[in-house]
Chain A
Amino acid sequence: SQKIEQNSEALNIQEGKTATLTCNYTNYSPAYLQWYRQDPGRGPVFLLLIRENEKEKRKERLKVTFDTTLKQSLFHITASQPADSATYLCALTSNDYKLSFGAGTTVTVRA
């Protein structure tokens, strides 16, 4: 069966450092991989989408990589700030608009 694993449930880092989150998947051939941010009591917010034929995507301090051979995506937050503290969700989709989510990694950035 399809499986999406975000390796860490929680990640604590010092302000200014780079946070790196991992998303691995099995029994899946996604066309797109997405990252969302979810704050407590709120809905997920779309951050970045990367296609299967793209290796890397950037948006401001965020960077996503996608390795379809390793079946893995890495999500980086550079120069992290306390305001980056949230749960980050990895989501995969084929061409059918159906998103399958990982369980999320909760990032806490210490000032």
Chain B
Amino acid sequence: DTAVSQTPKYLVTQMGNDKSIKCEQNLGHDTMYWYKQDSKKFLKIMFSYNNKELIINETVPNRFSPKSPDKAHLNLHINSLELGDSAVYFCASGGQTYEQYFGPGTRLTVT
């Protein structure tokens, strides 16, 4: 059973489009995260939700909007995609013990 899953794995789209990435975890964790890993492999946090409540909101363009319908799901919606949004996006979840469990990533390519 996959602990943290993301769909789709690859996403190729044109500038200006709107797209969503879905994430689900079956670990029973209360906290979920979205990270962006750019071409230089730097992994940077974007958002975090704890039990459906937004607790971390880094300096991210407001074209990015997370949504947590329940504590097992955290989706990422991106409006008006730009070339600079091309990256790998990782979802993660964590419990009380601070370590985090990452999904397989979604490679977004904006053309």
Contacts and interface: CB of A to CB of B under 8 A. Distances in A.
Interface of A: 32, 34, 41-46, 49, 87, 89, 93, 96-101, 103-104
Contacts of B4: 43
Contacts of A103: 40-42
A89 B99 CA distance: 13
Contacts, number: 50
B28 to A, nearest CB: 16
A34 B102 contact: no
28 contacts: A34-B98, A34-B99, A42-B104, A43-B90, A43-B102, A43-B105, A44-B43, A44-B100, A45-B102, A46-B99, A49-B97, A49-B99, A87-B41, A89-B43, A96-B56, A97-B31, A97-B48, A97-B50, A97-B56, A97-B94, A97-B98, A98-B45, A98-B56, A99-B45, A101-B42, A101-B43, A103-B40, A103-B42
Interface string B25-62: 00000010100000011111100101000011000000
A78 to B, nearest CB: 22
Interface in B76-106: 90, 92, 94, 97-105
Contact of A43 (B42, B50, B55, B103): B103
A100 B45 contact: yes
Given A97-B31, A97-B55, A97-B94, A46 B44 contact: no
A43 B104 contact: yes
A42 B55 contact: no
Nearest to B9: A41
Contacts of B43: 44, 89, 101
